[in-house]
Structure 1
Amino acid sequence: MENPVIIFGANELGKAAMAVLESNGVVIYGFLDDDEKLHNQTINEVAILGATDDDGFLKFIGQKCEAFVAFDNNKVRKATVEMLNKRRKVMPMNAIHQKAYVEESVHIEHGNFINAGVIIAANAKVGSHCIIHSNATIDYSSELGDLVQVGAGSIINAEVKIEDEAFIGSGVTIVSGVKIGKGARVGAGSVVIADVPAGKTVFGNPAAEVKS
């Protein structure tokens, strides 16, 4: 990629995204963040330039710079993406670590963060704006919707379907063929052997619904 990148979010995920992008030789132009206390500071000598809606910097997106959105809060992430779509007519780029392994047959949409050690096997599909943490495995023919988070070391077995905005904690195992509904949450270390309905939270081995 020839153009440098502006990262939206001067937070821990933003720092991780910088490392992922730099692992691929991508130059980071700067960060944008709405916390005014961070403005004019630096992260590894890269400046936090201003707010996420600063037209002085937004005007570069899609021309001289690419964008990556590094907010792990789905509401903020979605709003930032919509702003970029509306004002700059662009989609954020993917940040895929050089040490991730992605089969050629995998279909990946836009704006995803895929960290080191991730394995995505043949014919899997990854939607947009997902966060897949270190050493997670997405086995063959599985599908992730938009805004899905998969924790470090989790194993998503073959032909699993995870719908939009679901959260999978660290060290989770989801057995083959299971469906995780929209907005569902799976607690860290759980073993999921049955479908999880939309909006529900499950935890344990085997995973069971957590009553609020």
Structure 2
Amino acid sequence: MEKPVIILGAKGIAHSALEIFNSNKVVVFGFLDEDQKLHGHEINVVPILGHTEDDGFLKLIGKKCEAFIAVDDNKYRQFLVKMLNEKRKVQPINAIHETAYVSTDAEIGHGNFINAKVNIGAGTKVGSHCIINSGAIIDHGATLGDFVQIGAGAIVNSNVIVEEDAFIGSGVILVSGVTIGKNARVGAGSVVISSVKANETVFGNPAVAIKK
């Protein structure tokens, strides 16, 4: 990648995103964050330049810089994606750690965070703007929708479907063939042996729905 990167967001996964770009020898120009208290500070010698909606910095994106969104909150992440699409006519780039394995016939969208030691198998489909944390396994034939979050060490077995906006906690095991519905949440360490409905929260081994 020839252009440096501006990272939108300076909390949560932002430090890890910087490490990912460093691992690939990609220059990070700086961070932008909505929290004004962070402005003027640095993360590993890289400056936090200003606000995520500062046109003075945003105008660099697409011409002189690429953009990556390092925000955990899906609603704000979606807002920032829309802003970049509309204001700058660009898509955020992927941040894929050099130690991650991505199969040559996996399909990967835009703006994904794929951390160290992630394994993405043959025939998988990963949408856009997903967060896949360290050591997660996305096995062959699995499908992740847009804005899906996968916790560290989670195992998404073969032919699993994880729909848009779903959250899979750290250490979760999704057995082959299940579907996790849109906006569903699976608690850390759970073993999911049957499909989870949209907007449902499940937890345990085997995972069961938590009453609201």
Q: TM-score range by the shorter chain?
A: over 0.9
| Structure 2, unpaired ranges of 5+ | none
2:150 maps to 1:164: no
Q: Tell me if 1:103 matches 2:98.
A: no
Any residues of structure 2 matched to 1:24-173 within 5 Å, and which? 24-173=24-173
CA separation in 2, counterparts of 1:131 and 1:17?
11
Cα separation, 2, equivalents of 1:46 and 1:153? 29
Aligned residues with identical type, % of pairs:
61
Determine whether 1:208 maps to 2:205: no
**Alpha-carbon distance in structure 2 between the residues aligned to 1:194 and 1:99:** 32
Say whether the 8 Å CA contact 2:12–2:72 is kept in structure 1.
no
Query: 1:8 offset after TM fit, Å?
Result: 0.3
Whole-Å separation in 2 of the counterparts to 1:12 and 1:182: 23
Does the Cα contact within 8 Å between 2:17 and 2:95 map onto a contact in 1?
yes
TM-score of the superposition, structure 2-length normalised? 0.99
1:42 deviation in Å? 1.0
Letter of the structure 1 residue corresponding to residue 95 of structure 2: A
Rounded Cα–Cα distance in structure 2 between residues aligned with 1:55 and 1:175: 46
Partners of 2:202 and 2:166 in 1: how far apart? 12
Aligned structure 1 segments of 4 or more residues deviating by more than 2 angstroms: none
Name the aligned partner's letter for residue 84 of structure 1.
Answer: L
Instruction: Give the Cα–Cα distance (whole angstroms) in 2 for the partners of residues 41 and 171 of structure 1.
Output: 34
Give 1:190's aligned residue: 190
Return 5+ residue gaps in structure 1 as ranges.
none
The residue identity in structure 1 corresponding to 2:200 is K
Is this contact kept in 1: 2:172–2:188, CA < 8 A? yes
**d(CA) in 1 for partners of 2:149, 2:24:** 22
Provide the C-alpha distance between the structure 2 equivalents of 1:91 and 1:180, rounded to a whole number of angstroms. Answer: 26
d(CA) in 1 for partners of 2:176, 2:34: 41
Provide the C-alpha distance between the structure 2 equivalents of 1:78 and 1:72, rounded to a whole number of angstroms.
10
What's the CA shift for 1:138? Answer: 0.3
Q: Report deviation, 1:12.
A: 3.0
Q: Which amino acid aligns with 2:89?
A: K
The secondary structure found in structure 2 opposite 1:141 is coil
1:6 Cα deviation (Å)? 0.2
For 2:160, the aligned partner's letter is V
For the residues of structure 1 that align with 2:143 and 2:171, how far apart are their CA atoms? 19
TM-score (norm 1): 0.99
Helix, strand or coil at the partner of 2:48: strand
Q: Deviations over 1:128-162 (max 9, x none)?
A: 00000000000001000000000000100000000
Q: Does 1:14 align with 2:14?
A: yes
Alpha-carbon distance between aligned partners in 2 of 1:192 and 1:36, rounded to the nearest angstrom = 41
Q: How far off its partner does 1:22 sit?
A: 0.9
- RMSD between superposed Cα atoms in Å: 0.5
What is the alpha-carbon distance in structure 1 between the residues aligned to residue 64 and residue 77 of structure 2?
22
